[in-house]
């Protein structure tokens, strides 16, 4: 798989949630594809605690998904203060996601650091 370690685990978590929560055949295929990528990571970097990182990134993406859900479905269209609160929480969870990906890439020596400029996730 031609992706860096941080991107693989990030995309794996998204694919897993899609497979579990949407359940479409295409989502399940994508998840299985990223599972192969995770196996490659475990082989390339056996010193890494992939179970811990997997749980952490999956938790982050679950929180983001849950926060975005009501917004995506239009359930909060009349509650703009709640949309604003959720937007801030989503930004904060994304900050944690980027930091985790950067940590993984730094420890594995793969890929690049995701650097934001003039952005609250710095």
User: Which tens digits make up the pLDDT trace of 76-106?
Assistant: 999 999 999 999 999 999 999 999 999 999 9
Beta-carbon count within 10 A of 118 CB: 5
In a domain, 18, yes or no: yes
38 Cβ contact list (under 8 Å, min separation 6): 8, 9, 12, 50, 54
Map tokens 């650097």 to a residue: 115
In a domain, 51, yes or no: yes
Q: Which two tokens stand for residue 38?
A: 């995770």
In a domain, 122, yes or no: no
Range of the domain at 89: 5-108
Q: How far apart are CA 105 and CA 62, in angstroms?
A: 22
* Phi, psi for residue 118 in degrees, rounded to 5: 55, 50
In a domain, 92, yes or no: yes
Beta-carbon count within 10 A of 114 CB: 15
Per residue in 30-58, pLDDT (tens digit) is: 999 999 999 999 999 999 999 999 999 99
Number of domains in the chain: 1
- 119 confidence band (pLDDT: 50, 70, 90): low
Q: How far apart are CA 115 and CA 122, in angstroms?
A: 7
């Amino acid at each position: 798989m031609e992706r860096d370690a941080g991107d693989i685990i990030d995309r794996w978590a998204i694919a897993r949630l899609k497979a579990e929560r949407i359940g479409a055949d295409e989502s399940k295929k994508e998840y299985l594809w990223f599972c192969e990528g995770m196996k490659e990571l475990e082989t390339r970097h056996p010193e890494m605690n992939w179970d811990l990182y997997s749980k952490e990134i999956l938790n982050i993406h679950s929180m983001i998904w849950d926060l975005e859900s009501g917004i995506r479905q239009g359930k909060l269209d009349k509650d703009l203060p709640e949309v604003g609160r959720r937007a801030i929480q989503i930004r904060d969870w994304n900050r944690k996601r980027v930091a985790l990906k950067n940590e993984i890439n730094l420890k594995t020596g793969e890929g690049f650091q995701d650097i934001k400029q003039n952005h609250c996730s710095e």
